[in-house]
Amino acid sequence: MARMGLRAVSQRPKTTVRHPEHKTWPYLLRDMTIDRPNQVWCADITYIPMRRGFLYLVAVMDWATRKVLSWRLSNTLDVEFCIEAVEEAMARHGGRPDIFNIDQGSQFTSPRFTGLLTAAGIRVSMDGRGRWMDNVFIERLWRSMKYECIYLHACATGSEARDGIGRWINYYNADRPHSALGGRTPAEAYEGTLNRIRLAA
């Protein structure tokens, strides 16, 4: 479609809108070996089409193991649901990453969001402008989720979407093996590697 210049008639919601007064941060992951849990987390926002309208979904993912650590749905693109997702990830998993990678959208460049990270001693990394490949693992998550869940089951209500997405993420984390993880699931890779690190210490 891109080669032929074709596109959908309906307008797509835009999830990455820069704020001209917000500070941006350099991309820190180039040429870095990322091979352990909690070394790098990433987050991104996508839109969830409904029968009428759409919702926004943010997820926090561990880069090395691909595990979804937390997620939130919202009907607005404010910073609150992004902050809540990060706070839940840190509370549920008892720690914090060394680096947090995000795009340059206004939610993520908000001083409230970056302040939450820097106050916890986390280094902030931001994708280059227009470079979706800089956060490729969470972009692949969105693709899989939409084709395996969202597009097959058009939800009518927010609670229906929340239940369906929750079931799919539980399946993705705990039951779906990844070839990049040696056939393990993200949950097995995350918890298993952390347990080996604790035993070695």
Range of the domain at 97: 40-200
* CATH label of the domain that carries residue 183: 3.30.420.10
Q: What pLDDT, in 10s, does the model give residues 21-43?
A: 668 899 999 889 999 999 999 99
pLDDT value, residue 59: 98
Whether 10 maps to a domain, the answer reads no
What is the strand order of the sheet 68-74 is part of? Answer: 68-74, 54-62, 40-49, 99-102, 123-126
Whether 32 maps to a domain, the answer reads no
pLDDT value, residue 52: 87
pLDDT value, residue 180: 87
Whether 163 maps to a domain, the answer reads yes
pLDDT value, residue 127: 81
Whether 155 maps to a domain, the answer reads yes
Place of tokens 């993912």: 61
pLDDT value, residue 194: 82
pLDDT value, residue 200: 72
Whether 170 maps to a domain, the answer reads yes
Please answer whether residues 80 and 72 qualify as being in contact, where contact means their C-beta atoms are separated by less than 8 angstroms: no
C-alpha 179/C-alpha 125 separation (Å) is: 27
Q: Which residues pair with 142 in a beta bridge?
A: none
pLDDT value, residue 2: 53
pLDDT value, residue 13: 57
Whether 30 maps to a domain, the answer reads no
Q: How many domains are contained in the chain?
A: 1
Low-confidence ranges of the chain (pLDDT < 50): 5-11, 19
